[in-house]
Amino acid sequence: MSDSPASAVIDPSTALDSLATALNSGNLKKQLAALPALAALDDGVALLIDFAKDRSPQPLAIDTIDPLLGRICQLLNRADLPQARNFLEGYYPDGVVELPGECTVDYQPIQTALLEEDFDQADRITIQKLCELAGPEAVKRKWLYFTEVDRFPALDLQVIDGLWRTYSEGKFGFSIQREIWLGVGQDWEKFWPKINWKQGNHWTRWPGEFNWSLAAPRGHLPTTNQLRGVRVMNALMRHPAWS
């Protein structure tokens, strides 16, 4: 009979060819959609490694955001296969992004958490690093004054933003939040629901009600300790780093 189970089996090579076509299409949406299925196949892992080598044989400068490469490295890291591990250790030992030496704060822990897809931890470290940037008093209190944000060097905010954008398929980061904020005419009451920080009169409770995954709405992360209200967020959105 033509409808036997054997006739419904998909040829793995055909599936791999289809996924490879999507990966090489140049369409970011199609490319990102193909990555998890490729990472689940041994031949797919090899294909992703070759693709990454061709795309960039060395870590990228912070001003070269590449969400596709960031996602590939997340999936290779998750695969925990010898060939994937050897590739990451040889080409991107600290991650996709080469952190600039001019920063006085070490942002590598953010990159490590994002590479491991631990968005909750990355968010907590981001708040910690912003406090370190603000100084000892902010570290002690564990939150920021908006006046401290005003004094942040542009490069430091760009580094944090670049890391979040690189490892979130381009969905998360301060500049993404700013884009959404500008898109609603800088209206905070329209902005909060857009990034799912507030629904009706209910504020999303940190951390339990936040979505710590790529399934979260665009701009949902980082949280920047949203319990502090609008003034810190307003200072971030208006910072010269984005001009």
* Distance set, CA 234 to CA 38, 85, 191, 224, 237 (Å): 41, 41, 12, 11, 5
Task: Dig out the tokens for 100 from the structure.
Answer: 């600039």
- Alpha carbon distance, N-terminus to C-terminus of the chain: 66
| Dist. CA 81–CA 79, nearest whole Å | 6
- The pLDDT of residue 227 is 59
Mean predicted confidence (pLDDT) in 72-100 = 97
Separation CA 172–CA 161 (nearest Å): 8
Residue pair 218/156 in contact by the 8 Å Cβ criterion: no
At residue 1, the pLDDT reads: 44
Mean model confidence pLDDT for the chain: 93
Q: How many CB atoms lie within 10 A of CB 18?
A: 13
Average pLDDT over residues 169-179: 98
172, two tokens = 């998360």
Determine if residue 221 is left, alpha or beta; phi over 0 gives left, psi from -120 to 50 gives alpha, anything else beta. beta
Sign of CA dihedral 114, 117, 118, 123: positive
Q: How does DSSP assign 169-206, residue by residue?
A: TT--SHHHHHHHHHHTTT-HHHHHHHTTSEETTEEPPT
Encoding tokens for residue 41?
């196949």
pLDDT of 11: 60
Q: Assign 110 a pLDDT band (cuts: 50, 70, 90).
A: very high
User: Could you tell me how many helices (H) and strands (E) the chain has, helices first?
Assistant: 13, 2
- Distance between CA 20 and CA 186 in Å, rounded? 41
Contact 176, 170 (CB under 8 A): yes
Report pLDDT for 80: 84
